[in-house]
Structure 1
Amino acid sequence: MCIFVRKEYGRLLLSVQCFGELAIPLPYQRFLLTVKTTIGVICLRTHRVFLTWKSQLSVFLCKLTANYDKDMAAQEMIGFKNSLKLLGQQIIENRIAAAQAAIDNAQEAANNESKSSAGDKYETGRAMGHLEKDMYTRQQAENLKELAQLKTVKADMHYTTARTGALIVCEAQYFFIAAGLGKQQVDDRQVFFLSPLSPLARVLLNKKAGDTFIFNKQEMVIIEIY
């Protein structure tokens, strides 16, 4: 039984008789070279690997493909997290634009009131305009603060415990600890955007796959964390 390894576009491709061809990510190349202690004799000649002990070859391939599948799933979910971060930024930027438009409208309304009113009516209209403007200004400040915090979230990392930047996967819901944007429907996934300071995020802090928590009076089981 022999295995051939060749390079193509920066990847190692593992070709096994009767098994077909399997791409090996760079991190697993070192693993391939260390299996000689458990599988048998390896002779390297121009990226060609010869293995003995057929009985353990299938075990080796199962471990390799399992690690590869897990790594690919993690990379896919990291890409999904990055898309969630971009979606969150877009939502907040839309809120910022809406708040700025409301501030401008409130100011314009106050200016028009001052031109057309006099006496108590003028004072009341101006005060209401200022109150409305102040309300939207505070909202604007909160939106800007949340956007700045979201931009610091490291969504391109794979986490194994719940923390800021982690995506917690449950049976029917996803929880992304990054910004408090509530429930969002992303493709066919229901994603809850949580502020790192929210009560639920604090409950989830440092939990890992297999742990449970209560959400909407139901016990949720964490399937995986990315």
Structure 2
Amino acid sequence: MGERWRQIATAMAVGLVAGVMVAILRVWSATLRKQTSQLERLDRYMADGRQVLAVFWHGKYLPLFPLAKGKHAVVITIDSFRGRVIGEICKRFGYRPVLLPADVNAHGFPALVAQVKGHASLIALALDGPIGPLHRIRSGALTLSAVHGVVLAPIGVASSRKIVIRSRWDKQELPLPFSRVAVAVGDRIELDHKVDEGGAMPMEEIVRQAMDAVERQARELLPGMPHD
């Protein structure tokens, strides 16, 4: 009986936290000046019937909840309290969450393949999530994408005014209300054509360069924003 009440309490807490976050995100999103037209590129990438894995840095994911609404993506997260909150937020914005086992290295990626292969056109994943380190690309996701022919679509997010939570491992960025926010979608990457061979560039470096490029692209969509 105690375990049952604990599960009920956890579910209620998840729903409460998610509800508050969704309300904040909706109000906040309504104040932003958005440039999100490049998200249409994802539809073109899916047009040939290939699965698309949209990848972004963990510290940039928060604005994507409201800004990418309507894309009906499967969002990958971890089965934990925080992951369940993210999953509930996903549902309320029209995404389908998939909660992977907490032991990602042993069970997570095979579970990812089992749950989304053949059932989702668009999958969303933070490349360096859920616990970092910052911008450390998880090679397992890339290898599985290559083996199963999943196309990668790099996503970049930039804002004209923001708060950066430097105490967090992912240096999470929170665009301020009434700021300009841009979402960029880079050229698609077909890793099944780039599996490491002698003398070839490692997949991680290919993807890292693409992520650097799409982040620059997002900044360039914001006139007057200083470039790094």
Q: TM-score, structure 1 length as denominator?
A: 0.24
> Relative to total residues, which structure has the larger helix share, 1 or 2?
1
Q: TM-score, structure 2 length as denominator?
A: 0.24
